[in-house]
Structure 1
Amino acid sequence: MSRATIYDVAERAGVSISTVSLALNAPSKVRPATLGRIMTAVDELGFVPRAEAASRARKRVGRIGVMAPFTTYPTFARRLEGVLEAVEGLDFEVVVYDEVSAAAAAPVLAGLPLTRRLDGLIVMSLPLVGEVADRLRSRGLPTVLVELARADFSSVEIDDAAGGRLVARRLVDAGHTRFGFVGEVQASAEFASQCKERLGGFRAGLGEAGLKLPDEGVRLVEHSVEAAAQAAGELLASGQPPTAVFAHDDCLAAGVLRAARERGLRVPGDLAVVGFDDGDFAEALDLTTVRQPFRESGRLAAQILLDRIREPDRPIQHTRLELSYVSRATA
């Protein structure tokens, strides 16, 4: 059977040859639906561009990919620093793929251009739906996940639910009995987002103390300071306003602080506010938060990936990093 050509891919996907070429070389310039059709055709036909076919004679191409929502969540830059630290001095370059928010992507990674020359891939906080996981496995591309876990892929993760319980215990110990939560809305039901896990852990921790977070105390919004401020304002204007609010991350916590300031509330005297991540927002705002080791997670993910590239038959490896509660001025 003859090797599939770019003409075969174009015919199967119902697009022009130039569109296939654009999808392979500059996927961000192709509509997501069209890109998905092209990549499906590439997979079904087993198409390999000539440049890549020639490169396969070599053991490695010296390139790893890192995919994450970098522009949506600036904290991922810290993870990338850890990746770069791990490959420093090695014969590898890092290719960055910027994705949209995991909360809004449906399906995430469906258009990943696997025909580009990569030795391995790190996927940060972007869920792998079944068809994408199947693509990665069928192509034999070593892949490591960060801040999410699947049994069939190596991963570096944190326990988001445990982080929520940690916040609950600290706020209960401080004497609070009325609580609120501001988180990021999740568009896809195919996975449990970090927000959902943190909220679940927070509720569980309150329950262990005989307290509860009512449904009306939860606000899920788009990921922005403005949206969080509006949602927190609604919570604070209720008949029984919370005395403590836990935000899914530091960005949303900044919105809660804005809402408190606009209403003349003293923080933490009238309202305690806790975030999650310990990113740049937290330090600038003197925000109490849950710290996760960003740089270390990137470094470990890269080390695991490099080991798997060198030894493809290595067992799947799952690493869980510890969280810590950072007390500052807001709680």
Structure 2
Amino acid sequence: MPKSKTIYDVATLAGVSISTVSLALNAPARVSAETRRKVLEAVDALGFVPKPEAVAKARRGVGRVGVIAPYTSYPSVARRLNGILHVASQHLLEIVLFDQESAAQRSSPLLSSLPITGRLDGLIVVSLPLDEAAAKRLTDLRLPTVLIDVHHPGFDSVFTSDSTGGRLAASHLVARGHRHFGFLGEAQQSLLYVSPAQRRLAGYRAALAEAGYPLTDTDVRFMAHGVEPAFEAAKDLLSMEHRPTAVFASSDTLAAGALRAAHDLELAVPGDVAIVGFDDGELAEALGLTTVHQPLEESGRAAMERLLQQLDRPGTVREVALGLELVLRGTS
């Protein structure tokens, strides 16, 4: 009776290690297409019989990538996800989504636990800070991970400079002749991390100070994320006796609330008050809102492409910085 072929025989014929054969059959996204082809040819030539689901997965080349993000909190996250899905669709990847509350809405905002259930070949973390416990867990799992919109030493990341965005808004408004400025940002429950809104405010404030127009705390408002909270905060800001003539909001959603407040107070936009947002989504386009454009879909695509590189051939950590630009419309 002929002896059954083993994984050792497959590895020898394919010219790869036993662990590579195992990866090709059980986590195909972690080996190159050429390596997977060699392994499958050896499997067929030898009549090796692995678990049916393993060889089926290898023939499809399917890997599972988790994406964890605050999907229900921000429209911008959905656009980042679109970029991820666009790349994934070209590589037969299975995407598993994990929704998590926005860091700004959590009293303990850092990502201390990860909802990793079942096998994942890679992970993309969107707009959620990593604490040391989460970073250590990912490192111990040897799970290839790419961060979007956040940084952590030892991890690949794709990001834009929020402070640069604030500077762009300030420079534009100063150039338009404004001398009294306001800011709307999302409030957060914890100061354990520096939020995008804080970084945007820092850049805005620094550029205004350099131009000779310091931004006082009286002209800064923080509120929950949403049009209605922004409307109330902006209405209070714009009702002051010495109100700002230009307002920068840390998102288009907050800017929409400011625009509504201006209309409610019968202030002409941009004649009485100029308004600038951040993100440049469909809302900004519909409202004719001047805003700082983020390459949201591009960030998702870049993160997914970087993760594929790590799955194929792990290498040194890379940080990918994407540019911002001011989009001029009718509110400034």
User: Where do 5+ consecutive residues of structure 2 fail to align?
Assistant: 1-52
In the alignment, which residue of structure 2 is the partner of 1:166?
168
- Residues 61 and 118 of structure 1 are in contact (CA less than 8 Å); yes or no, is this contact kept in structure 2? no
Q: After the TM superposition, which residues 195-210 of structure 1 pair with which residues of structure 2 at under 5 Å, given as runs? A: 195-210=197-212
Q: Post-superposition shift, 1:68?
A: 1.2
Q: How many residue pairs end up in the alignment?
A: 275
- Residues 61 and 119 of structure 1 are in contact (CA less than 8 Å); yes or no, is this contact kept in structure 2? no
User: TM-score, length-normalised on structure 2?
Assistant: 0.80
1:268-326 deviation digits (Å, cap 9, x = unpaired): 000000000001210110000000101110000000011111123x0001000000000
Q: After the TM superposition, which residues 43-192 of structure 1 pair with which residues of structure 2 at under 5 Å, given as runs? A: 62-105=63-106, 106-192=108-194
Q: After the TM superposition, which residues 164-313 of structure 1 pair with which residues of structure 2 at under 5 Å, given as runs? A: 164-312=166-314
- Write the distance in 2 (CA, Å) between the matches of 1:316 and 1:153: 6
- Write the distance in 2 (CA, Å) between the matches of 1:182 and 1:90: 41
Question: In structure 2, what residue type is equivalent to 1:100?
Answer: E
Q: Post-superposition shift, 1:80?
A: 1.0
User: Where do 5+ consecutive residues of structure 1 fail to align?
Assistant: 1-53
In the alignment, which residue of structure 1 is the partner of 2:15?
none
Q: Post-superposition shift, 1:117?
A: 1.0
Q: Post-superposition shift, 1:116?
A: 2.2
- Write the distance in 2 (CA, Å) between the matches of 1:280 and 1:67: 23
- Residues 107 and 129 of structure 1 are in contact (CA less than 8 Å); yes or no, is this contact kept in structure 2? no
Query: SS of the counterpart of 1:103?
Result: helix
Q: State which structure, 1 or 2, has the greater radius of gyration over its C-alpha atoms.
A: 2
- Residues 98 and 115 of structure 2 are in contact (CA less than 8 Å); yes or no, is this contact kept in structure 1? no
| Seq. identity, % | 50
Stretches (4+) displaced over 2 A: 58-61, 107-111, 113-116
- Write the distance in 2 (CA, Å) between the matches of 1:200 and 1:102: 19
1:182-239 deviation digits (Å, cap 9, x = unpaired): 1001222221100000000000010110111100111010001111011111111112
- Write the distance in 2 (CA, Å) between the matches of 1:137 and 1:188: 26
1:162-188 deviation digits (Å, cap 9, x = unpaired): 110111000001010111101001222
Query: Which moves more between the two structures, 294-303 or 65-74?
Result: 65-74
Question: In structure 2, what residue type is equivalent to 1:248?
Answer: S
- Write the distance in 2 (CA, Å) between the matches of 1:237 and 1:107: 33
Query: Which moves more between the two structures, 97-106 or 295-304?
Result: 97-106
Query: SS of the counterpart of 2:326?
Result: strand
Q: CA RMSD in A?
A: 1.6
Q: Post-superposition shift, 1:135?
A: 1.1
In the alignment, which residue of structure 2 is the partner of 1:329?
330
Q: Post-superposition shift, 1:139?
A: 1.1
User: TM-score, length-normalised on structure 1?
Assistant: 0.80
Query: SS of the counterpart of 1:276?
Result: strand
- Write the distance in 1 (CA, Å) between the matches of 2:75 and 2:109: 22
In the alignment, which residue of structure 1 is the partner of 2:29?
none
